[in-house]
Each structure stands twice: as structure tokens, then as C-alpha cells.
């Protein structure tokens, strides 16, 4: 069973916000969403089920890779760098 709570940071009780910030190791911005999930994990597949899952995943990646793309490598790299900078504000590209 899965339980999910979603709140805006500015709607959290002060003690809850402090606990979340302590766990994250940083302050929350008021406009951020905080999602808390509680669930029971399941065992990873083994044997034949694991092999079949891996094979399906490989087939999926091959199918994606075979799709033609009109995006240049430079545009793809630029988009990737922009995404990394957005989620990691202190990120600097190698020189």
C-alpha cells in the first residue's frame, strides 16, 4: 500500500518544515512542493523473470534509439547542459 502527501512548503507546519529541511540539508523555498511517500518495497525479480525484464528493457532502448531524430548533437548537448544547470545551480561545465 502506498501513501502520498503533497504540500506547498509554505503550507507546512513549522516543525514539519524544519524536519524536512533537516533531512534535505537545505532550506525550502515557499513555492516548492514537498512530496512524502510511504510504501512497502517488493523483492527484485530473480532468475527467469529478471532475465525477461532485462531483455524487454533492452528491446525498449533499441526501439527508442532506432527512431530518427532531427535534433543535432549540439542542440541535444545544449538542452542537457541547461537541464543540469537548472537542477544543480552550482554546476560548471568542464573546461
Q: Which three cell numbers stand for residue 4?
A: 502520498
- Write down the pLDDT at residue 72: 87
Distance CA 75, CA 92 (A): 18
62: buried, middle or exposed (CB in 10 Å: 19+, 13-18, 0-12)?
Answer: exposed
Distance CA 81, CA 29 (A): 23
Q: What is the pLDDT of residues 15-68, one digit of tens each?
A: 999 999 999 999 999 999 999 999 888 899 999 999 999 999 999 999 988 887
- Write down the pLDDT at residue 1: 64
Q: Is residue 68 left, alpha or beta, with left meaning phi > 0 and alpha meaning psi from -120 to 50? A: beta
Amino acid at each position: 500500500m502506498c501513501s502520498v502527501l503533497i504540500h506547498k512548503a509554505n503550507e507546512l507546519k513549522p516543525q514539519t518544515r524544519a524536519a524536512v529541511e533537516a533531512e534535505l540539508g537545505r532550506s525550502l523555498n515557499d513555492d516548492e512542493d514537498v512530496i512524502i511517500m510511504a510504501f512497502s518495497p517488493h523483492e527484485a525479480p530473480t532468475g527467469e523473470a529478471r532475465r525477461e525484464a532485462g531483455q524487454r528493457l533492452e528491446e525498449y532502448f533499441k526501439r527508442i534509439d532506432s527512431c530518427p531524430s532531427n535534433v543535432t548533437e549540439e542542440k541535444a548537448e545544449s538542452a542537457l547542459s541547461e537541464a543540469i544547470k537548472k537542477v544543480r545551480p552550482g554546476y560548471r561545465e568542464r573546461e
